[in-house]
Amino acid sequence: MSLRVDDFKSRMQGGGARPNLFKVTLTNPPGVTADVPAELMSFMCKGAALPASVVAAIEVPFRGRVLKVAGDRTFENWTVTIINDNSFEIRNSMERWMNSIIAHSGNIAEEIDPGQYQADMSVTQLNRKEEETKVYNIVGAFPVNVSEIELSYDNNDAIEEFTVEFAYQYWTASTTDSFSG
């Protein structure tokens, strides 16, 4: 195998995947009046991550050694960073969504059926021609944390941002070559 720069260059199809070429899409949950406009979410989502998953190792002691075998797959919470607008449209909808799951004052649930408060989301990697190259479908997501927005007199050249952390059931992935997770 050659390790010349020209060989490396020939393998950099499309110049490599770029972390700033992505879009996030949210499907509103059926039982919640979250009303997050999908197009607004795609524009105002400043940051996200391609989701992770972990297969834990189970350690089995045997005669002074440890045999590692595959355990269960787990999925870490998924976080997006949102640019806040003057109408607080996305933040308000996330707060309504969380409030329908469990209310602030009464600690009671408006929607207790998971199928009514969970929604599917996706994060899509784009190439430099804005074509989809890989799509992660995040299944059964719901917000578990809407972060604070820090306010300060000395922070005058910035736009507010906040993060939303979602718990979810699992993800599937697809690419242009029909890979499925």
**Domain CATH for 69:** 2.30.110
Residue 78's domain comprises: 14-175
User: What percent of the chain stands above pLDDT 70?
Assistant: 92
Question: How does DSSP assign 51-99, residue by residue?
Answer: PP-EEEEEEEEETTEEEEEEEEEE---EEEEEE--TT-HHHHHHHHHHH
Instruction: Return the bridge partners of 73, or none.
Output: 55
How many whole angstroms separate alpha carbon 16 and alpha carbon 19? 10
How many domains does the chain contain in total?
1
How many whole angstroms separate alpha carbon 53 and alpha carbon 172? 11
pLDDT, tens digit (0-9, with 9 covering 90-100), for 38-71: 778 788 999 999 999 899 999 999 999 999 999 9
pLDDT, tens digit (0-9, with 9 covering 90-100), for 128-147: 999 999 999 999 999 999 99
**pLDDT in the model for residue 24:** 93
Residue 58 lies in a domain: yes
For 11, the enclosing helix (H) or strand (E) is helix 5-11
How many whole angstroms separate alpha carbon 41 and alpha carbon 66? 47
Residue 136 lies in a domain: yes
**pLDDT in the model for residue 84:** 94
Residue 7 lies in a domain: no
Residue 1 lies in a domain: no
Residue 145 lies in a domain: yes
In degrees and rounded to multiples of 5, residue 54 shows phi and psi of -130, 135
